[in-house]
Every structure is written in structure tokens, then in C-alpha cells.
Amino acid sequence: MIRLILIAFAFASMSLMSAQGQSREVYTIHGIAVDERAPTVGEAQQKAFAYAKRVGAQRLIERFTLPEDRAAATDLIIDQALADRIAAAVDVEEEIAGAGRYRGSLAVVYNPSQLRLALTQVGLPFTDSLGPRAVLFTTTSNGMDFAWKLAWDETPKESLVPLLVSDTSGYRPDTDWQILQDEFSLYGAQRGMFANLRGGQGGYLVDLVSVTASGSRTIGTTRRASTLEGAKTAVVELLNEEWKRTSIVRDTSRTLIEATVRYTSLAEWNTLRGALVRSPLVSNFQTRAISTDGAFIAFAFAGNGQRLTSDLRDRGVVINAEEIGWVMTSAISGGQ
């Protein structure tokens, strides 16, 4: 029993450290170009830091919110006072200083609690939760397989939807699930994202399809891009947009639910519990009883049940109604 408790504590500690790391990255804006002049280099640097905080605040708020919500939030004013209030640190990525001029590239780290408070105060709906990790498969309809694969050589940073690019070629959304599942497990993911490039010199479009144990789901088609790098950016934009539309909670009401969770190992229990806790729709999660192969839990969720089912499905959790009530299992093992 003591060993079991220690293992569980270790899993919880690793999950917490992972969540903290994710929070810092998603709350960091990189690559802010600055070029400021002042009577002294020190003053020019301070002007550059202040400018970077304002620009970064704008980008960060855009990252977490939808355009129509920002347009409706008339009380939102992104000025220096707000930027200073929510900024936690400024990191220098590159700099050239001298003769009263400061140039370079800066990164600004923001304070999650301060930003959440600021957005809540002006009534701006947002989400800073990360979507379920996905393995990205690059496919094409125009014979540019190598070039499209090469465009993803560097994984996108600061995205709300973590992507891990597969090194394997030839997979399609209709590939046998067992084969895909084996590939997903190599990356610690529960779903795959297929980005099919089409078009040519007139512009590129990318069709996106998500695949989980529950089947495939068409996400949509990106905006037209003139370059492969632009097409890659468009993929990240569409995934972030779709994630925000499905995870931003607008309904203040909550539905209470009790459920049984079945699992085959302690590691699987921690995976299932982590998926529930990380869902932006779930709050007040409680473990009321636990055994070697099952647990009895309770939590509140926002929105309707279909929305919750869809979000958890993408996280590898299946919900079914049985005689004993709601039962949750892993999409991979089924709790068998």
C-alpha cells in the first residue's frame, strides 16, 4: 500500500511539473522585434522592454480569445498599464546596443493569474487550456510529400494544440486503427492529425482530419497560403481557432455528474484522471473511492453532455451509460 501511494504521488508530481512547464510556454510570446532610441542605451532598453510588453500582451490576448469576442469587449484597453500589470519577465533573445540605440528580439513571459483576472474583469471569454496532444501526419494531393514534410521540420511553438510530427510516412485517416494506435503511443498521444496539402503555385490549402479511437472527424480547410511555411502557419491557426471555439466556456451553469472509472493499471488511471482534470469543461473533480481496477469520481461540467463527450474522446476517454450509471474507460484498452 505504501509503495502504491508513493507511485501515485510520483505520477501526480510529474503531471504538476508538466502542467507548470506548459503554462509558462503558452504564456510566453517570443520573437518580438524592437528598435528604440533614447539619450542613453539604458533608457532605450527600457523603452524597448515597455514596447515588447504591449505588443506581447496584444498577441497573448489574441492567442486565448476569438475575434468576435474581442470586438464585443469594449472595456478592454491594451495599454502600458495593463501590459505592466500582466507581464512577469522580459527575456533577451538577441540584442545590439550602443550609441543610445537598442535593437533586438525579446520574449515576454506573462502572469497567468493576472491575465485571467484582467480578462474576467472586462467580460472577455477565453481559454488558456491546452488541447489534447496530437501526432501530425503530413500527406499531399500534389506530389510535394518531401517538401511538405520538410516544412514541419521544426514543431510550432506557443500553440494551444500541442503537435508532435510523425517521422513515418504513408499513413492516412483510414489506416487500420491498431496501426495508428501503435504510432500514437510512441508519442504519448491519443489522437492523430492528418494535414493533407493540395494546390500549387496559385496557393496552398490544407485539409485537416482528426482521428481517435472513436473514428475520424473533419476539422476543415485552412485559408489559402502562398508558401509552404505559410500553409504550416495556417494549419496552426485553424487548429487553435477550432480548439478555442470548442473549449471556451460561456455558460456559467454547471452540471454535476458521478461516474465509475475502469482501468487496467495505475498508469492508466493517472492517464484517465489527467484527461478529466485537464479538460476545460471539467471543474471540482473529486475521487470519492478507489481500488486496484476502478474508481468512483464526481465532477461538474459546463455546456452539454455531447460537448463533454467530444472533448474527452479526443483525450482518449470513452463515456458509456450502463446499469450502474456513467462508466468511463480508456479508448485504447476499454478498461478490460
pTM of the model: 0.78
Are 290 and 233 within one domain?
A: no
Are 195 and 266 within one domain?
A: no
Are 108 and 140 within one domain?
A: no
Q: Which of 121, 156, 179 is the last residue of a domain?
A: 121
Residue that has been written with the C-alpha cell 483510414 in this structure: 174
Question: Is pLDDT above 60 for 54?
Answer: yes
Question: Is pLDDT above 90 for 106?
Answer: yes
Give phi and psi for 208, each to the nearest 5: -115, 130
Contact 317, 333 (CB under 8 A): no
Q: Is 9 exposed, middle or buried (0-12, 13-18, 19+ CB in 10 A)?
A: exposed
Q: How many other C-beta atoms can be found within 10 angstroms of the C-beta atom of residue 127?
A: 19
Provide the CATH number for the domain around residue 177.
3.30.160.100
Q: Which of 247, 280, 306 is the last residue of a domain?
A: 247
Are 210 and 282 within one domain?
A: no
Does 83 map to a domain?
yes
Q: Which of 96, 121, 146 is the last residue of a domain?
A: 121
Are 178 and 154 within one domain?
A: yes
Does 14 map to a domain?
no
Set of cell numbers at residue 264: 487496467
Does 16 map to a domain?
no
pLDDT band with cut points at 50, 70 and 90 for residue 46: very high
pLDDT value of residue 185: 84
Does 309 map to a domain?
yes
Bigger pLDDT: 200 vs 40: 40
Percentage of residues of the chain with pLDDT beyond 70: 92
- pLDDT tens digits for range 256-311: 999 999 999 998 999 899 989 988 889 999 999 999 999 999 999 987 788 888 88
Are 32 and 62 within one domain?
A: yes
Are 46 and 69 within one domain?
A: yes
Q: Rounded mean pLDDT of 85-102?
A: 96
pLDDT value of residue 9: 34
Does 128 map to a domain?
no
How many structural domains is the chain composed of? 3
Does 318 map to a domain?
yes
Query: Per-residue DSSP letters for 167-188?
Result: S--S--TTS-HHHHHHHHHHTT
pLDDT value of residue 47: 98
Are 197 and 172 within one domain?
A: yes
Does 72 map to a domain?
yes
Provide the CATH number for the domain around residue 323.
3.30.70
The Cα–Cα gap between 294 and 269 comes to 8
Are 108 and 142 within one domain?
A: no
Are 228 and 315 within one domain?
A: no
| Residue ranges making up the domain that contains 312 | 255-330
Query: Positive or negative, the Cα torsion across 220, 225, 228, 229?
Result: negative
Are 139 and 243 within one domain?
A: yes
- pLDDT tens digits for range 141-178: 999 999 999 999 988 877 899 999 998 888 999 999 88
Are 261 and 240 within one domain?
A: no
Does 17 map to a domain?
no
The Cα–Cα gap between 81 and 87 comes to 10
